[in-house]
Structure 1
Amino acid sequence: MVVYQRRGGNDPQLSPWLAHRNHLHPAVHRAQDAIAQDPARSWSVDELAAQAHVSARHLTRLFAEHAGISVVGYQQRLRVARARELLAERQLSVERVAELAGFASARDFRRVWQRHEGGTPSTLRAAGGRGSTLADRQPS
């Protein structure tokens, strides 16, 4: 018998695609959906606010209050998740992965990667995509 356990609000979210979505605010969900559909796109807060049908200033406040992260921080996490998937394809250079994931440059990609994952993208690739993340190493 398989019994699915419902995750509580304080339990860690393992998927970056689902993280910060444990709220019920429809405007924030609309903005998150837009980012998730195309994380590589250079979304401005004004464009996301138009998708969410609120002002840019209000969206920024709503994101912080309901998602617990900034709009840019959320987009960066999804870009890092996409880059993680792309790094598994060994034929792609780190520069190409950065470009496909939506980063302005490989340098920017490495800086954001270091902040969210720790180490370098090359370290993950050398480990065959099985490297631990910064989140894995932090106590719950």
Structure 2
Amino acid sequence: MTTIFDGTPKYPGLQGDLARVTSIEDRVLIRAVDTMAEEGVTIAMSPEQARRLAEAIKDAAAEAEGGEARLGWRRIGTAPKDGTAILATGVNFGLPGRGRHYALARWESCEHPSPDDWSGWYEPDGDGGPYYWLTHWMPLPEAPQ
């Protein structure tokens, strides 16, 4: 069992919260206790789910410490789907050739979802088809003045 934090108070003069991680058979267990509310929860998950949770926690911690600029490449599932242009990368994502490609992309949503839904990542202001197999993204830098 690994104790992540134990007894670090959120508020002066109060007992702190508790979080522990352990594994039993093929499951990872996370036990968290909010001592102020006197509530606890145990979450059981697969090793893959635990890895994804750890990545999400790592991203959130980096953002909290130093802002988004320190994160660098992020998993594509966290990219904005509001039409914002991003720098994207993926492996052979619908372009000729092999290997990793890089491109500007933005999410376009089908207004009326249907079996032929065309929502996906596209070239901003372009006529090209959707990009497939994107894996990571990062925000575009500010334009020069």
TM range (shorter): under 0.3
Q: Which structure is richer in relative contact order (CA contacts within 8 A, separation 6 or more)?
A: 1
Flag the structure with higher helix content. Answer: 1
Flag the structure with higher strand content. Answer: 2
User: Taking structure 2 as the reference length, what is the TM-score of the superposition?
Assistant: 0.26
User: Taking structure 1 as the reference length, what is the TM-score of the superposition?
Assistant: 0.27
Q: Which has more radius of gyration?
A: 2
